[in-house]
Structure 1
Amino acid sequence: MKTKTLLSVLLGGIVASAILVSSTTTAERSIAQTPMEAAEGYFDAIIAKDKEGMMFYAKDTNYLDEKSREEGYREDLKTNPTSSYEIVGSKQINSNEFELSVILNYSGEGYKHTPPLPYKVFKSENSWKVLVEPLEINTLTGDVKKGMPIYKWQYTDS
């Protein structure tokens, strides 16, 4: 009889813990009600090295599917340690779209920060999302232009 009671208490504790963890995770990633909530959620996720948060708050045209996107984010978070960001400009295009200029600061050696990078934030169904598009950054001049999606890159042996 004591074994059944102990087992019931343990199972109850496990279920309660699972519910608590689930509700805590959901609370951290609430649906973005404004463009700035989406932007802050996305860039805060980059700093926290939280690929799931990045995927939640953004649509990324660099990747063909969610699996390659997740793998790409995992690698990028290892090699590009972003320490902070600054939103230096915002402009409303229409009721469903905003443009942002964002500077990313890095904690690694060498390249310390980006020039202002263009991002769009758009209304997607019932929330806002950051549109991440491929960019080409000239680190010498600070020029930024539209780049090629990662899935189209071709590597050659030279």
Structure 2
Amino acid sequence: MKGKKLLPLLLAGIVAGSILVATNTTAERVIAQTPMEAATEYYDAYIARDAEGMMFYSKDINYLDEKSREEGYVKDFKTNPTTGYEIVGSKQINSNEVEISVIEKYAGQGYEQSPPLPYKVFKSDNGWKVLVEPLEINTATGEVTKGTPIHQRKYTDN
């Protein structure tokens, strides 16, 4: 009788253990082997609101350190209307750098998508990474220009 009760309990433990292993395995990051893989992984993490994934697949010059970067991403998730993206162009600069153009899709901001945004993807010691630089978008004209890094912005009270 004890053997019949022990078997279902043992099976339940095995199933639970395998689910735990599968969950932990899928959370591991894979080093991007191509520029497009890095860009896709970065933007998928961005849309999923996965700060760790974004940090893994990019270098962001808006922040001075990883702590402020993660805090900035988490804060951005609360106000960011980005719901999708489309990589609309790529241009090989050299064997270690590719320029891509990305259209971000938005919800609830009065405009549906960004103009094509320029990003660089570069080869690092840890595979390919997206270089995130500050950009300013004029929503009236669609003009995209270089912006000021978040850590250098000065805010004043008027």
TM-score (norm 2): 0.85
| 1:33-77, Cα deviation, whole Å (9 max, x unpaired) | 000000000111111111111111110000000011001101111
Question: Which residue number corresponds to residue 151 of structure 1?
Answer: 151
| 1:98-154, Cα deviation, whole Å (9 max, x unpaired) | 000111011223232111100000001141000000111111111111111000111
Q: Do 2:81 and 2:109's aligned partners in 1 also have CA atoms closer than 8 Å?
A: no
In structure 2, runs of 5+ residues without a counterpart are 1-9
Question: Which residue number corresponds to residue 43 of structure 2?
Answer: 43
Of 23, 31, 45, which residue of structure 2 is paired with 1:21?
A: 23
Counterpart amino acid of 1:115? P
Identical aligned residues as a percent: 66
Aligned-partner Cα distance in 1 for 2:45–2:90: 20
Aligned-partner Cα distance in 2 for 1:67–1:119: 23
Q: Do 1:80 and 1:108's aligned partners in 2 also have CA atoms closer than 8 Å?
A: no
Equivalent residue runs for 1:112-131 within 5 Å = 112-131=112-131
Counterpart amino acid of 1:55? M
In structure 1, runs of 5+ residues without a counterpart are 1-8
How far 1:80 sits from its partner (Å)? 1.1
Aligned-partner Cα distance in 1 for 2:154–2:68: 15
| 1:63-94, Cα deviation, whole Å (9 max, x unpaired) | 00001100110111111121111111100000
Equivalent residue runs for 1:7-86 within 5 Å = 19-26=21-28, 29-86=29-86
